[in-house]
Structure 1
Amino acid sequence: MNAFRIVPIPQSTTNRIREGRSDGHGNLEIQPMRATEPRAMPCRVCLEDVAVGEEVFLFSYSPFERPVPYRNVGPIFVHAGGCKPYDRPAIVPDLMRRRLLALRGYDAEHRMIECDIVEGAVLESLIERFFSNPAVAYIHAHNARAGCFLCRIEREAENSPALGPLV
């Protein structure tokens, strides 16, 4: 199997939200809200479902930092008080196992060249299929039902093709 790692959104993004309360997509004065349902608000930093009663920020996010044809902006949640970024190479977070996922594979020029839907319980098989294509540089995982971005999936460094600047 191709080695991979799950990459949460950058800490710099959540720091900007916590400090400035603006997401750069027109949402100003973002306020914390409390989770009222279990497993309804996946945090994009620790990649865990937010527990009922915990505070979160809901804001707009794009996994691409500059304009590219596949740039999309959508809603995401993060713990309002901060949390430890997910860092477990080649291990799929439980919150992804419980969801229907849409994966999109991009090449080094940030063009989508693979896409499919998979039950999270068998996610590794689709990651393996995408990364068997040497042109796939990285993958974006989205919640297939809600459509929102969950995380980036990368090849381990020794298996990774050269990427252009991260966008």
Structure 2
Amino acid sequence: MRLEFNALPSDVVEAIHHTGLDSYGDPVERHPSAELDGMPCRHCLQNVPEGAPYLALPHRPFRSRNPFAETGPIYLCADMCTRAAPTEVPPTVLQADAYILRGYSATERIVYSTGAVIPRAKLTDYAAELLARPEVAFVDLRSASNNCFLCRIHSAD
């Protein structure tokens, strides 16, 4: 199975930049510069460069509102950046030892027994295993330490 690791869609990020509002209608935080090179932008899937301004906000990467539509903190480049192309391997910005992977149905509900903390080296194997299940439409990849949304994984087949 071919996988696609997908950044946040440009229309979503453009709306955040245009309105200055997060998923709940509250103002996003704008910080004058990144204190270190380690704040991964969820649109370009690169670290916000040290010294560059950035946005910090809660984000809910779901169309619907339901009990399973999780929110997590994210960073974005303060200036509109170019969306990362889908990739078959985990983005290089992922440098932690482990991440949370969780499968969701087409109705954006968590598919029980899919959530697990997975070592970085096993992300593609576990994502493929989840996406092979007919009830799993997509997999979200989140920080194992802070539950930050990082990217969404789809089957490219």
Query: Is the contact made by 1:8 and 1:47 (CA closer than 8 Å) also made in structure 2?
Result: yes
CA contact (8 A) 2:69 2:109 kept: no
Residue aligned with 2:99, SS: strand
Unaligned runs of 5+ in 2: none
Partner Cα separation in structure 2 for residue 43 and residue 109 of structure 1: 26
The CA deviation at 1:78 is 0.6
After the TM superposition, which residues 17-56 of structure 1 pair with which residues of structure 2 at under 5 Å, given as runs? 17-28=16-27, 30-39=29-38, 41-56=39-54
Match of 1:4 in 2: 3
Asked if 2 retains the 8 angstrom alpha-carbon contact of 1:61 and 1:76, the reply is: yes
The answer on whether the counterparts of 1:22 and 1:30 sit within 8 Å (CA) in structure 2 is no
Cα displacement string for residues 106-138 of structure 1 (whole angstroms, at most 9, x for unaligned residues): 122322121111122331111122123222110
Q: 1:105 to 1:52 in 2, by over 3 A?
A: same
Task: Give matches, 1:1-167, under 5 Å.
Answer: 2-28=1-27, 30-39=29-38, 41-113=39-111, 114-156=114-156, 159=157
How many pairs align? Answer: 155
Question: What TM-score do the two structures reach when normalised by structure 1?
Answer: 0.84
The TM-score, its normalising length taken from structure 2, stands at 0.88
Q: What letter is aligned with 1:25? A: Y
* Paired AA for residue 117 in structure 1: V
Stretches of structure 1 that go unaligned for 5 or more consecutive residues are: 160-167
Which residue of structure 2 lines up, in the alignment, with residue 165 of structure 1? none
| Code of the aligned partner of 2:10 | Q
